[in-house]
Structure 1
Amino acid sequence: MESEVILGNSNARFSGVTSTMLQCLEYQRQWISVRVLGKHFLPDGEMNVKLWELITLAREPLPGGRWRVFHARRNDEMIQALLLKHVFGVKIKILFTSTAQRNHTGFTRWLMAHMDAVISTCQAAASYLSEPPKAIVPHGVRTDIYFPANKRSEELAHLGVHTRYAIGIFGRVREQKGVHLFVKACIDVLKNNPDYTALIVGAITAKNKNFVAGLKEQIQQAHLQDRILFLGEQPFEKIPRLFRAMSLVAALSDNEGFGLTVLEAMSSGAAVLATEAGAWPEVIEQGKEGYVVPVDDQPAITEKLDSLLSDPVALENMGRAGRQKALEKYTVEREAKQLCEIYRSLQ
């Protein structure tokens, strides 16, 4: 098997990790020979390699004695790679991307200690590693898919929004994502900012139905049910257009591995209001592309949202600055190139 790189793809449920892998893959397959262990969500089934194929076909190194690289992004993918290498004798070097911003379990630390290299996506995640990572490779965004609207008014009309501007929060609707903080801030702020509608975009699971019912009751009591709207889960292909309608996107999670929402918003020309989670404090320059506030700080969120909505011109300028930063520093192509350089350094 001549493939230089094997990518782990062990999760049958679509996640941010899956999205990152697939977006980078679109570029990497142009530059290197790559196969994917796990068929989930692959656009091209021929890229999938089965475990038995790796075991039987990859026991010899590549021509010239070069090593294949197995890129793991999850614990179970590290386990797969270690079994392939040490039990079945597959000739691979193993790379792991660590994104977690928390103390790792003893088992995870043991797995990482047996990697040939560990990288991270931001300094915050790197700070939880026992040794400095080989590199920091920030995630990127598809700037050709997430781009500003030519006429935001047309995007709003498409959504049936009748105010001049829209703000939003994206992701599964649950407390960990800070949706309750967003709703409370909107209730306090929208009454004095009649030009704005707030949109909440994301799946509502059975577990969170009571949580959402409580939020809807608060909205109803404030008589804002026409201006704070739950759109539910949206098809993946419709998400970029929703971002294009936004003047501001809030990202208020308790914690994040990286947090692509902010990059998707910036690339779409929206200002951002985010908590000090994930890579957000490293991505957002205060007052330039938006603002970062402490986690779970309702007064700070409400105060900053009120300030931002009171100045649509400043919001527009922040959105332009965010788009420029995404183009310069946070494209998927840039991320994919950096990863390919690391793969080659391990071979």
Structure 2
Amino acid sequence: MSEPDIARIDVIAPNFKKRMSGVTSTVYRLVPLQAREIAIASAGPAIPEGVPEVSLRSLATMSRRGPSGPRVWHARRNNEMLAGIALKRLLGKRLKLMFTSAAQRDHKGFTKWLIRQMDRVVATSARSASFLEVPATVIHHGIDADLFQPATDKTALRAELNLPVDHKLVGCFGRIRPQKGNDLFIDMMLRLLPDRPDVTAVMMGGVTDQFREFHEGLKAKVEAAGLSDRILFLPEDPHWDISRWFKALDLYIAPQRREGFGLTPMEAMACGVPVVATRAGAFEDFIPAGQAGAIVDIEDLNALTAETAALLDDDARRAQWAANARTHVLESCRIEQEAAALVAIYRDLLAEG
């Protein structure tokens, strides 16, 4: 995709992180969709093909005035808020500053100061909004239900991904670190797999140097149990398309200790995969417990194990929950709803002049 002319861009949604993350995924799915309704582009060090982008260099050299007067700068991280403030105050760009907060914790003093400089603040859940000291509009994340949809041929897909075609597959995806509860997932599968020879677990995600030892410890524990062939450790998808891996699953586990919003259970549900999740993030907001998933207390390994076992051992219930999951996403969790709500805010900010 050719780079759009920044002189025609009304909204800039920066993504200053190279590695894949939930925030990065959100930006890259929203911007192409929003570009159908408003002149928006992302900016960052590694924008994938298909996402409208402007270069980082052009941010400093762009005209002070945008095509509609001000431009909207929609940040989602501290460094992106800081960049917007610098562009506005040091370089004199006419910017309306906007921030989306997903964190469910008290913010540090510097972050609070950054947030106070924003013209508009969005929270991804009511719980996230409760930690803010400024007014915020709650807009839940949504999912691309066309990209994330049930597989037409799950057997063929598994063969293509080099996954067992005749096993029940249980997945846990995302960054590998203690706050994500990867150790809880592994401990649970070590309990469940010996009595269920037809089940394979798949843990997939990127590992930073900080958590390399944590990751290696999990692999060592699995190897010691003699289950390395049935608990698979896979790197994050190099094409940043994790939808194929969700489509291959029968059950998804979200064992997080802490989470901002947490898109992966929604992605699984969109693919017709029921979930077992903790009460972290916004999981309780969008998982219909007892219909498409189960919710357990954070760090309750016994409950996590029991709910997972129940679904693995009950094919009929798992199939019904799978159908319910897809229906729920189509009705309540589509990314088009999120995109439209954000575009409405952009238009309001641009109209303020």
Normalising by the residue count of structure 1, what TM-score does the alignment of the two structures yield? 0.90
Tell me which amino acid in the other structure corresponds to 1:247.
D
**Cα distance in structure 2, aligned partners of 1:4 and 1:233:** 33
Residue aligning to 1:299: 302
Instruction: State how 1:55-204 maps to structure 2 within 5 Å.
Output: 56-58=62-64, 60=65, 62-63=67-68, 66-133=69-136, 135-158=137-160, 159-204=162-207
Deviates more, 1:8-17 or 1:319-328: 8-17
Instruction: State how 1:1-347 maps to structure 2 within 5 Å.
Output: 1-43=7-49, 47-50=53-56, 56-58=62-64, 60=65, 62-63=67-68, 66-133=69-136, 135-158=137-160, 159-236=162-239, 239-347=242-350
Kept in 1: contact 2:31–2:41 (CA 8 A): no
Where in structure 1 are there 5+ consecutive unaligned residues? none
Seen in structure 2, the aligned counterparts of structure 1 residues 345 and 185 have a Cα distance that, compared at 3 Å, is: same
- 3-state DSSP of counterpart to 1:254: coil
Seen in structure 2, the aligned counterparts of structure 1 residues 50 and 303 have a Cα distance that, compared at 3 Å, is: closer
Tell me which amino acid in the other structure corresponds to 1:187.
L
- 3-state DSSP of counterpart to 2:138: coil
Where in structure 2 are there 5+ consecutive unaligned residues? 1-6
Following superposition, the deviation at residue 190 of structure 1 comes to 2.3
Q: What does the per-residue CA deviation read over 1:53-111, in whole Å, with 9 as the maximum and x for residues that have no partner? A: 555512x3645xx5321111111221122222233322221111011111001111111
Tell me which amino acid in the other structure corresponds to 2:331.
E
Following superposition, the deviation at residue 222 of structure 1 comes to 3.8
Residue aligning to 2:3: none
Kept in 2: contact 1:35–1:49 (CA 8 A): no
Kept in 2: contact 1:243–1:264 (CA 8 A): yes
Task: Let me know the Cα RMSD of the aligned residues.
Answer: 2.3
Following superposition, the deviation at residue 269 of structure 1 comes to 0.8
Kept in 1: contact 2:32–2:50 (CA 8 A): no
**Cα distance in structure 2, aligned partners of 1:153 and 1:46:** 35
Following superposition, the deviation at residue 241 of structure 1 comes to 1.7
Seen in structure 2, the aligned counterparts of structure 1 residues 9 and 163 have a Cα distance that, compared at 3 Å, is: same
Normalising by the residue count of structure 2, what TM-score does the alignment of the two structures yield? 0.89
Kept in 1: contact 2:12–2:40 (CA 8 A): yes
**Cα distance in structure 2, aligned partners of 1:163 and 1:290:** 23
Figure out how many residues of one structure are paired with residues of the other and give that number: 343
Following superposition, the deviation at residue 317 of structure 1 comes to 1.3
Kept in 1: contact 2:179–2:259 (CA 8 A): no
Deviates more, 1:39-48 or 1:320-329: 39-48
Seen in structure 2, the aligned counterparts of structure 1 residues 70 and 316 have a Cα distance that, compared at 3 Å, is: same
Following superposition, the deviation at residue 15 of structure 1 comes to 2.6
**Cα distance in structure 2, aligned partners of 1:107 and 1:238:** 34
**Cα distance in structure 2, aligned partners of 1:271 and 1:259:** 15
Q: What does the per-residue CA deviation read over 1:261-289, in whole Å, with 9 as the maximum and x for residues that have no partner? A: 11111111111111111111111121111
Following superposition, the deviation at residue 339 of structure 1 comes to 0.8
Seen in structure 2, the aligned counterparts of structure 1 residues 201 and 26 have a Cα distance that, compared at 3 Å, is: same
* Percent of aligned positions that are identical: 37
**Cα distance in structure 1, aligned partners of 2:295 and 2:176:** 21
